[in-house]
Structure formats: structure tokens, C-alpha cells
């Protein structure tokens, strides 16, 4: 054994980062668990997609609703949160050059999450807990369905506090100077959101568990929905804060980019902490018993201030890349910086596709569907899963995949196997997901419901016949969904293959991906027409124009509806 093994730290030859070995093991454990659960969630998803595809209609109704419940729980909760814990430990410990606080507690959290996730999955597979991820009362699941989620949440909560403890230790022991790095600040945002999100989950899932074992007489359905969505929607905001931190991180790793403005980016993260939690209302806009004043204030995140934050990140992340590229010499015209980006590097391509899909597909649809009145023509249609596959699959999952291609050499110290396949993978998954999302949103606007086994209503006397276009869009969506699942399978093959068979990275390996200091290029005067990032500004204006246009198209359609008050 070398002296490195005796020391609690190692200096990584690829990244130059100094790593606490205990943290490193925990990052590996959480990331591997995440990838395994992604496989499970993806298989459930394949079952759902191949059933909703009218020409295939694979599963029986019973197995379809079971698979859909499993897909929601595993892909939307288990996979992302395991990966997020890995990211929190990486940001708190590795990026701050610090040891991890209380690794033992981190392991307790890890095993609670494993046990919790498996408990809930077993409950789902046993068949009497096909209640969907949302498990609206008074529909009831087996008690261990809720218990598993609670254990998982407690484990995740421990992970958040280990991260917070690590930040405190790092400050105390002076492992970094000045303010927290932006990426860690973003991760801290995610952890803070996670804590109040999980608290909301506990407030509603614990009584629901007690109700399921007969200790509580009833749980009010409206209270359940209001509080459950403070878990359900806000947990997606943990994802947003995390994957945006990853965008900033990858922009720096690949391009040597630095934030265009620390002040702007941090303020945007702060807006998330202040206003994202209000998004619970997005799911309650067509519900009885809530006033329009409440709905408007909450659904708009208090005057759209959290939307503003996302619009800001959407500019500053590619903007930071543009500035770095221009300083390095790619300063010609509007888009040379983008054309000369390493599109064959999955760390970059995954991140950039994630950014584009999150903005154009998930972002625009999200802003429009959360308008109090527009929601009436969208609520619970296929539009909803279309939207959130744009955010969570195309945005978060793809960003996590991109980062994984970096973690393999740096944390796992293995070379990525099958590099050509890895190059292709983000496109396969990203484009598959984006087409799925858009086509399913289209089907939703034609009235196709979400979570529905048979939109042909075969054999029913009151059957409704959807327009042919609705079937076509559903088929396109599910075909693209299968492509996305294939992209997921390729990802898992590459990751697991690299961990098992990838060549160990030698001590004299070269940094990957290799980055030169952008400022060293000596290009001081950059940009066009007085803008340092004119290309990004143009892209942002394209997003803006699309959003405005789409917003009014929806109001035009809404205005053709029956008068309603």
C-alpha cells in the first residue's frame, strides 16, 4: 500500500482535486445506487410507454398501473435523490477540499434510503399499492408503501445535514478562502430546498401511514393534496437547483468558464429558496376550495420571481461558456464559440442538451400551464407528463448523466469504455425525451388523459373517440419514449461497463477533459455590439419570443372555450 492509502485524502490526477477517501466511497455508493435505480425506473417506464403506444398495448391494466406507480416513485424520487446526495457530498467535500462530516451518519442515511426504496418497490410489486407516486387519499396503499417513502426521506434528510455539517467544517478548518464557490452555493440551495421539502413530506406521509394502519380515522383529501405537493413539486426544485449547479460546474470543467457575475447567479439561486416552495399550487389550480388570490400568488411563485431566476440561469450558464470561448479566441461572429464546442464530449453535449430541453420544452410549457386559467385546458391531461419529462428527464436526468461521464474518471478512477457509444448517448436520450415530451404535450392539448390504460375505450357504451391526430401523437411520443429508454440503457451499459471493465487510470494520466485557462488566451476585447455574450443573448431572445408566442396561443385557445365563471 502506498502512503496515499494511509492518508484520508488522495490527489486526483485527472482533475487535480483533493479527495477525502471516505467521502469518495460514499459518493461512489450513492452514485452506483442511483444508476441501479435508474435502470429499474427505466424498465418500469418502458412498460408504461409500450402500453400507452396504442399499436403495442403491452401490459394488462393491472400491470400498467403498477408499472406507472413504480416508474414515478423510482425515476422521479429514488434515482434523482440518490444522485443528488452524491452531488452534495462531491460539492461539500471534494470541491471545498474538506473532509466529510460524520461519514458514519452518511452511511446510516445511505442504508435508510436503500431500505426505504426497496420497501416501497416491494410494496408496489406486491400489487395492492398501485396508487401512483402521488397516492392521493382516500385511495389506500399497503402501509409499507408509505413507510418505505418515509424511511427513504429520513435517509435523504440525514444526507442533507451531513452536507451542511461538511460546509461548516470546511469553513471552520479553513479549507477554502472567501465565499463558497458558486457551484457549492447552488448545491446548498438544493439542500435547503430539500430540507423543507422533506419536512412537508413527513408532515403528510406520517399521518397517511398512521391512517393506513388504522391509527388515524381519516386524512382530509384537500389537505393531503396541498401538503403532498409541497413535497411533490418542491422536490423537483431540488432537482432544478442541483442540475443548474451541475451546468455551472460542467461549464467550468469543460471550458474553464467562470460565472459572468457572481452576484447575479447567486441572487437567482436565492430567489429559488425564497419562492420555489409556492409551486405546490401548480397542481391545485383546478381544485375546489382554494381562492383565486391564493392560486395566483402561489402559482406565479410570487410574481414569477422563481421563473425569473430560471431565465437568468438560462442566460448566464451558456453566457459563461461563450465568454470563456471568446477569450480563448473563438471570437468570430455570433456563434463560432458554440460551433467550436466539443460536441463529441458527452460531459458537454449532455449538459448543453439538458439546458436546451429544460428551457425550451420543460420551461416554456411549465410557465404556460401554471397560469391559473390556462390550467383548465391542461390539468391532468397527457400534457402534464409531457411537461415534466422535459424538465426532469430531459433536464435533470440528462444533466446527471453528463456529470457521471466526469465522475467515472475522477471519482471512480476508470476510463470510460465504449467512447463512441458514450458520445452518442446524450443525443439518443435527449432527443428521444424531447420528442416524447413535445408529442405527449400535443396529445394532451387534444384531451388525451394522463395515467390512462386505454384511450380507445374499447367495448364501452359511452366511449369517446379522440381525433386521429391524438393517436398519432401518442404513438410518436411512445416511440420516442422507447428511444429515450434505449438511450438510458446505453448509459447504464457504459457506466456499469466502465466501472467493471474500464482501464484503471494511471498516476500519470492526463487531465480529462483538458481545460486551458481561458484568461490566458489574452483576448481582452470580446463580443459584438457591446455585448460580451451576444450569441447567448440571441438564443435567449429566441426562447423569450417562443415563450411569449406560446403564452398567447394558449390564451387564444382558452378564449374559444365555453364561458365559465
Partner 1 sequence: MPTSYTPPAKAIWWKEPIERTEVVWIAIAFLWCLFMFVWMIAWHWIGNQNMANEAYKTTPEAYAAKVEAFTAKYTVRQDKNDPSLPVVHPPAGSDVYLAASRWQWRPLLELDKGKSYRLHISSLDWDHGFSLQPLNLNFQAYPGYEQVVTLTPASAGTFTILCNEYCGIGHHTMLGKIYVKE
- Return the residues of window 490-519 that contact partner 1 according to CB under 8 A: 517-519
User: Is the CB of residue 284 less than 8 Å from the CB of residue 295?
Assistant: yes
Query: Between helices 61-71 and 103-126, what is the axis angle to 10°?
Result: 170
* SS3 state of residue 390: helix
Stretch that binds partner 1, among 144-152, 249-257, 425-433, 482-490 (CB under 8 A): 249-257
Subset of residues 8 to 47 that bind partner 1, contact rule: CB under 8 A: none
Stretch that binds partner 1, among 104-112, 405-413, 416-424, 456-464 (CB under 8 A): 456-464
User: Does 446 sit near partner 1 (CB under 8 A)?
Assistant: yes
User: Does 295 sit near partner 1 (CB under 8 A)?
Assistant: yes
Subset of residues 57 to 76 that bind partner 1, contact rule: CB under 8 A: 61-62, 65, 68
Task: For partner 1, give the closer residue by CB, 111 or 555.
Answer: 555
Q: Looking only at Cα atoms, what is the longest distance across the chain?
A: 78
User: Is the CB of residue 61 less than 8 Å from the CB of residue 142?
Assistant: no
Stretch that binds partner 1, among 34-42, 388-396, 472-480, 540-548 (CB under 8 A): 540-548
Task: For partner 1, give the closer residue by CB, 114 or 438.
Answer: 438
C-alpha grid cell, residue 158 = 440525514
Subset of residues 191 to 220 that bind partner 1, contact rule: CB under 8 A: 220
User: Is the CB of residue 391 less than 8 Å from the CB of residue 358?
Assistant: yes
> Given candidates 54, 329, 447, 497, which one binds partner 1 under the rule CB under 8 A?
447
User: Does 307 sit near partner 1 (CB under 8 A)?
Assistant: yes
Q: How far is the CB of 423 from partner 1 (least distance, A)?
A: 24
Classify burial at 488, counting beta carbons within 10 Å of its beta carbon; exposed 0-12, middle 13-18, buried 19 or more: buried
Nearest one of 473, 359, 400, 546 to 85, comparing CA atoms: 400
User: Does 7 sit near partner 1 (CB under 8 A)?
Assistant: no
User: Does 292 sit near partner 1 (CB under 8 A)?
Assistant: yes
Q: Which residue has the cell 480563448?
A: 328
User: Does 270 sit near partner 1 (CB under 8 A)?
Assistant: no
User: Does 338 sit near partner 1 (CB under 8 A)?
Assistant: no
> Given candidates 290, 492, 493, 496, which one binds partner 1 under the rule CB under 8 A?
290
User: Is the CB of residue 205 less than 8 Å from the CB of residue 227?
Assistant: no
H or E, element range at 11: strand 9-11
Task: For partner 1, give the closer residue by CB, 399 or 428.
Answer: 399
- Compute the distance between CA of residue 301 and CA of residue 110 in angstroms, rounded to an integer: 33
Subset of residues 170 to 189 that bind partner 1, contact rule: CB under 8 A: 176-184
DSSP-H helix ranges across 72-213: 80-89, 103-126, 143-172, 182-212
Nearest one of 257, 94, 88 to 175, comparing CA atoms: 94
Mention every residue, 6+ apart, whose C-beta is less than 8 A from residue 441.
Answer: 365, 382, 383, 386, 387
Task: For partner 1, give the closer residue by CB, 115 or 308.
Answer: 308
C-alpha grid cell, residue 351 = 449538459
Stretch that binds partner 1, among 24-32, 334-342, 486-494, 526-534 (CB under 8 A): 526-534
Subset of residues 383 to 442 that bind partner 1, contact rule: CB under 8 A: none
Q: How far is the CB of 288 from partner 1 (least distance, A)?
A: 3
User: Does 300 sit near partner 1 (CB under 8 A)?
Assistant: yes
Q: How far is the CB of 93 from partner 1 (least distance, A)?
A: 13
Amino acid at each position: 500500500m502506498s502512503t496515499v492509502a494511509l492518508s484520508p485524502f488522495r490527489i486526483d490526477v485527472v482533475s487535480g482535486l483533493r479527495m477525502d477517501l471516505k467521502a469518495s466511497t460514499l459518493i461512489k455508493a450513492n452514485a452506483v445506487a442511483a444508476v441501479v435505480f435508474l435502470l429499474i425506473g427505466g424498465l418500469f417506464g418502458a412498460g408504461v410507454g409500450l402500453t400507452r403506444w396504442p399499436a403495442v398495448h403491452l401490459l394488462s391494466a393491472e400491470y400498467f398501473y403498477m408499472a406507472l406507480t413504480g416508474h414515478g416513485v423510482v425515476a422521479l424520487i429514488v434515482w434523482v435523490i440518490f444522485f443528488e446526495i452524491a452531488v452534495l457530498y462531491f460539492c461539500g467535500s471534494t470541491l471545498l477540499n474538506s473532509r466529510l462530516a460524520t461519514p458514519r451518519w452518511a452511511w446510516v442515511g445511505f442504508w435508510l434510503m436503500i431500505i426505504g426504496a426497496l420497501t416501497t418497490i416491494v410494496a408496489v410489486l406486491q400489487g395492492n399499492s398501485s396508487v401512483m407516486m402521488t397516492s392521493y387519499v382516500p385511495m389506500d396503499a399497503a402501509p409499507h408503501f408509505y413507510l418505505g417513502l418515509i424511511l427513504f426521506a429520513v435517509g435523504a434528510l440525514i444526507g442533507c445535514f451531513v452536507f451542511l455539517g461538511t460546509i461548516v467544517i470546511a469553513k471552520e478548518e479553513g479549507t477554502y478562502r472567501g465565499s463558497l464557490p458558486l457551484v457549492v452555493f447552488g448545491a446548498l440551495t438544493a439542500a435547503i430546498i430539500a430540507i423543507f421539502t422533506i419536512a412537508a413530506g413527513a408532515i403528510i406521509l406520517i399521518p397517511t401511514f398512521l391512517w393506513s394502519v388504522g391509527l388515524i380515522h381519516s386524512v382530509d383529501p384537500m389537505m393531503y393534496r396541498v401538503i403532498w405537493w409541497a413535497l411533490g413539486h418542491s422536490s423537483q426544485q431540488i432537482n432544478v437547483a442541483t442540475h443548474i449547479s451541475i451546468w455551472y460546474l460542467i461549464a467550468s470543467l469543460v471550458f474553464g468558464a467562470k460565472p459572468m457575475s457572481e452576484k447575479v447567479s447567486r441572487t437567482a439561486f436565492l430567489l429559488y429558496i425564497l419562492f420555489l416552495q409556492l409551486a405546490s399550487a401548480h397542481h391545485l389550480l383546478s381544485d375546489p376550495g382554494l381562492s383565486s388570490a391564493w392560486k395566483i400568488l402561489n402559482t406565479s411563485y410570487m410574481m414569477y420571481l422563481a421563473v425569473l431566476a430560471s431565465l437568468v440561469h438560462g442566460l448566464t450558464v451558456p453566457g459563461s461558456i461563450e465568454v470563456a470561448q471568446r477569450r480563448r479566441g473563438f471570437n468570430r461572429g455570433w456563434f463560432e464559440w458554440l460551433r467550436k464546442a466539443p460536441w463529441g464530449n458527452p460531459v458537454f453535449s449532455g449538459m448543453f442538451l439538458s439546458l436546451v430541453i429544460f428551457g425550451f420544452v420543460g420551461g416554456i410549457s411549465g410557465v404556460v400551464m401554471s397560469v391559473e386559467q390556462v390550467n383548465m385546458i391542461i390539468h391532468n391531461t397527457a400534457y402534464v407528463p409531457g411537461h415534466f419529462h422535459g424538465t426532469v428527464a430531459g433536464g435533470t436526468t440528462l444533466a446527471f448523466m453528463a456529470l457521471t461521464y466526469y465522475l467515472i474518471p475522477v471519482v471512480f478512477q476508470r476510463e470510460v469504455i465504449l467512447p463512441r457509444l458514450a458520445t452518442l448517448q446524450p443525443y439518443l436520450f435527449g432527443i428521444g425525451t424531447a420528442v416524447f415530451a413535445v408529442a405527449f404535450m400535443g396529445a394532451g392539448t387534444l384531451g388525451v388523459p394522463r395515467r390512462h390504460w386505454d384511450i380507445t375505450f374499447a367495448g364501452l357504451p359511452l366511449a369517446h373517440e379522440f381525433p386521429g391526430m391524438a393517436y398519432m401523437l401518442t404513438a410518436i411520443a411512445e416511440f420516442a419514449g422507447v428511444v429515450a429508454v434505449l438511450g438510458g440503457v446505453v448509459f447504464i451499459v457504459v457506466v456499469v461497463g466502465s466501472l467493471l471493465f474500464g482501464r484503471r487510470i494511471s498516476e500519470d494520466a492526463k487531465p480529462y477533459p483538458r481545460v486551458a485557462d481561458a484568461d490566458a488566451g489574452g483576448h481582452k476585447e470580446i463580443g459584438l455590439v457591446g455585448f460580451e455574450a451576444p450569441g447567448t443573448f440571441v438564443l435567449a431572445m429566441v426562447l423569450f419570443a417562443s415563450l411569449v408566442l406560446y403564452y398567447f396561443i394558449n390564451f387564444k385557445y382558452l378564449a374559444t372555450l365555453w364561458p365559465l365563471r
